[in-house]
């Protein structure tokens, strides 16, 4: 799960792994320090992931119920 959607922040390790070209462009233009933020997001990342998986699971359960309702109506 990409937790950037919850915080707008990404670690340097994740950035190098997932967005290497963007990182390289920021380094080349000297703008990397402009975007650097130091905060306590790492502590809240687990909570955000938990909520993300909870919402994803709820969506899958609702999808399964919709499919079940549609299939049960076909049988009548």
What sections of 10-40 are H helices per DSSP?
12-18, 20-29, 32-35
Bigger pLDDT: 48 vs 3: 48
Residue 21 makes CB contacts below 8 A (sequence gap 6+) with none
What is the length of the chain? Answer: 76
Does the pTM exceed 0.75?
Answer: no
User: For 5-42, what is each residue's pLDDT tens digit?
Assistant: 777 788 888 889 988 999 999 999 999 888 887 777 77
């Amino acid at each position: 799960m990409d937790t950037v959607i919850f915080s707008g922040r990404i670690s340097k390790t994740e950035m190098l792994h997932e967005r290497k070209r963007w990182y390289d462009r920021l380094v080349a233009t000297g703008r990397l320090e402009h975007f650097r933020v130091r905060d306590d997001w790492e502590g809240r990342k687990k909570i955000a992931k938990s909520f993300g998986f909870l919402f994803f699971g709820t969506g899958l359960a609702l999808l399964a119920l919709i499919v079940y309702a549609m299939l049960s109506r076909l049988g009548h």
